[in-house]
Chain A
Amino acid sequence: AQSVTQPDIHITVSEGASLELRCNYSYGATPYLFWYVQSPGQGLQLLLKYFSGDTLVQGIKGFEAEFKRSQSSFNLRKPSVHWSDAAEYFCAVGRGTSYDKVIFGPGTSLSVIP
């Protein structure tokens, strides 16, 4: 069965600092991978997705993620964090196509210090 782990429950960074959020998945074949962001009281917004091809994926709001098959990882990065990036971040994995039971990780809560 597929699963997703996000080792960091909560991360605090200073505004302007770089950010890396970790995501590891378990799935037997090539997964479809997603990062979503959720601001307080809001729904989920897609930051970026990996289906195939280039393993470095660019997303919205200056985020990027790199798929590393050998490490079963899909870490999210941003070179310079803004105060508005404070939110909950979810990594998700799908099997084969977007419809096939997308499973979410537990989430990482990001706080940004001015």
Chain B
Amino acid sequence: NAGVTQTPKFQVLKTGQSMTLQCAQDMNHEYMSWYRQDPGMGLRLIHYSVGAGITDQGEVPNGYNVSRSTTEDFPLRLLSAAPSQTSVYFCASSYSRRQGKNTEAFFGQGTRLTVV
């Protein structure tokens, strides 16, 4: 049971560099999302997707792009990294309304990103 897999676990970037955080799930969940976690602020929603080809913005989307070409994968792209994007990033997945099953979100182990 792989669940939700995030890579890499740790990453250090220089300001202005770009990178992609990978997220994959094997539970046939249509809904996937990205959160960032910062001290004292809980988890804030960056982007989410309700199925392949469909994405939308969350609370803090600026500086991030996403795409959803398959049900399994939901990568998060940092276009030009800034120190303010230093954070721990979590990917989550769950069944969608269309799939008709009420469940909670399942989380990956997180990616700790530092931008210097």
A residues in contact (CB < 8 Å) with B: 4, 6, 9, 32, 34, 36, 42-46, 49, 51, 90, 92, 96-107
Chain A residues near B44 (CB-CB < 8 A):
104
Chain A residues near B42 (CB-CB < 8 A):
4, 6, 90, 104-107
- Assuming the A-B contacts A103-B45, A104-B42, are A98 and B31 also in contact, with contact meaning beta carbons closer than 8 angstroms in the complex? yes
- Assuming the A-B contacts A43-B110, A106-B40, are A99 and B95 also in contact, with contact meaning beta carbons closer than 8 angstroms in the complex? yes
Bound together, the chains give a CA A99 to CA B93 distance in angstroms of 8
- Interface SS of A by simple majority: loop
- Interface SS of B by simple majority: loop
| Nearest-Cβ distance from residue A67 to partner chain B, whole angstroms | 15
Q: Which of B71-103 contact A (CB under 8 A)?
A: 90, 92, 94-97, 102-103
- Assuming the A-B contacts A90-B42, A103-B45, are A44 and B102 also in contact, with contact meaning beta carbons closer than 8 angstroms in the complex? no
Chain A residues near B41 (CB-CB < 8 A):
106
Is B48's beta carbon under 8 Å from chain A?
yes
Q: Which of B16-44 contact A (CB under 8 A)?
A: 30-31, 33, 35, 40-44
Closest 9 CB pairs of A and B: A99-B31, A104-B43, A104-B42, A106-B42, A44-B107, A43-B107, A97-B97, A43-B109, A98-B94
Chain B residues near A96 (CB-CB < 8 A):
97
Bound together, the chains give a CA A44 to CA B58 distance in angstroms of 19
Can you report 30 residue pairs joining A to B where beta carbons are below 8 Å apart?
A6-B42, A9-B40, A34-B104, A34-B105, A36-B107, A42-B110, A43-B108, A43-B109, A46-B104, A90-B43, A96-B97, A97-B102, A98-B31, A98-B94, A98-B102, A98-B103, A98-B104, A98-B105, A99-B50, A99-B94, A99-B96, A99-B97, A101-B58, A102-B33, A102-B45, A103-B59, A104-B35, A104-B42, A104-B43, A107-B42
